[in-house]
């Protein structure tokens, strides 16, 4: 699971949501996932989910399980009949574009299951379910294993901001096999000032840098 987190952080860097260069840092509110809600996390891999159950305990990677491969030691079926969310987080350094994530990233989610269950969200549907720019605070330090990455030049006075999709997809009413499709597509070029690649300068992303999808079965019990 630690290796999975490392892959996620690198993926977040590649997918990081970015903006036209309005460089002044802005204050941002904090945000964390709701407690006692199971969460599907497609960027972490097939069937991966977690639940934040105790606000007094810092998050750990031990929360991560997966519902796609019963023989895996981290397998746990997704709970039937409960509220559920799909989430994905992006990191970026320019507040304005982080604010515009819903219109610059097309996000599509499609889930099918037993007894004709079908939920579909196209880009227009998911656009209203983003948190907006928020801070990476101590909770995220614990969850993701340390502080956020730095900027290539702190003097540029940009910030480091998260934005999360928080999409209600449950409850899944019947035990059985469900199928998830999750896709995201960058619609505009962008500039990033987080020092992911040690270039010592802003990095320019094109739409080809953020076109990805994942599709898998997962089990609900």
Average pLDDT of the segment spanning 207-218: 90
DSSP element (H, E) containing 13: helix 2-15
Q: What residues contact residue 168 under an 8 Å CB cut-off, 6+ apart?
A: 83, 84, 85, 129
Q: Which residue has the tokens 């962008």?
A: 190
For 30-65, write each residue's pLDDT tens digit: 999 999 999 999 999 999 999 988 878 878 888 999
- Quote the tokens at residue 196: 């992911």
For the whole model, what pTM was predicted? 0.85
Residue 138 CB-density burial (10 A; 0-12 exposed, 13-18 middle, 19+ buried): exposed
For the segment 101-118, the average pLDDT, to the nearest whole number, is 96
Instruction: Look at the chain and report how many structural domains it folds into.
Output: 1
The highest-confidence range among 8-22, 78-92, 137-151, by mean pLDDT, is 78-92
Stretch among 36-40, 136-140, 141-145, 148-152 having the lowest mean pLDDT: 148-152
Which residue range forms the structural domain that includes residue 99? 2-220
Between the alpha carbon of residue 60 and those of residues 1, 51, 107, 181, 202, the distances in Å are: 10, 11, 27, 26, 32
């Amino acid at each position: 699971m630690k290796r999975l987190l490392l892959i996620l952080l690198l993926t977040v860097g590649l997918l990081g949501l970015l903006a036209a260069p309005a460089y002044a840092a802005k204050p941002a509110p904090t945000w964390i996932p709701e407690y006692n809600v199971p969460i599907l996390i497609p960027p972490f891999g097939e069937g991966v989910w977690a639940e934040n159950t105790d606000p007094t305990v810092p998050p750990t990677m031990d929360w991560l399980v997966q519902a796609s491969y019963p023989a895996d030691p981290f397998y746990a079926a997704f709970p039937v009949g409960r509220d559920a969310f799909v989430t994905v987080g992006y990191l970026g350094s320019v507040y304005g574009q982080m604010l515009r994530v819903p219109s610059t990233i097309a996000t599509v989610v499609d889930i099918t299951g037993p007894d004709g269950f079908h939920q579909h969200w196209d880009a227009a549907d998911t656009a209203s379910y983003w948190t907006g720019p928020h801070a990476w605070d101590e909770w995220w330090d614990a969850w993701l294993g340390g502080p956020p990455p730095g900027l290539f030049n702190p003097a540029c006075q940009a910030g480091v901001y998260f934005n999360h999709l928080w999409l209600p997809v449950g409850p899944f009413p019947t035990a059985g096999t469900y199928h998830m499709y999750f896709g995201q597509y960058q619609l505009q070029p962008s500039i990033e000032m987080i020092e992911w690649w040690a270039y010592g300068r802003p990095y320019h992303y094109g739409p080809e840098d953020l076109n990805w999808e994942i599709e898998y079965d997962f089990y609900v019990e």
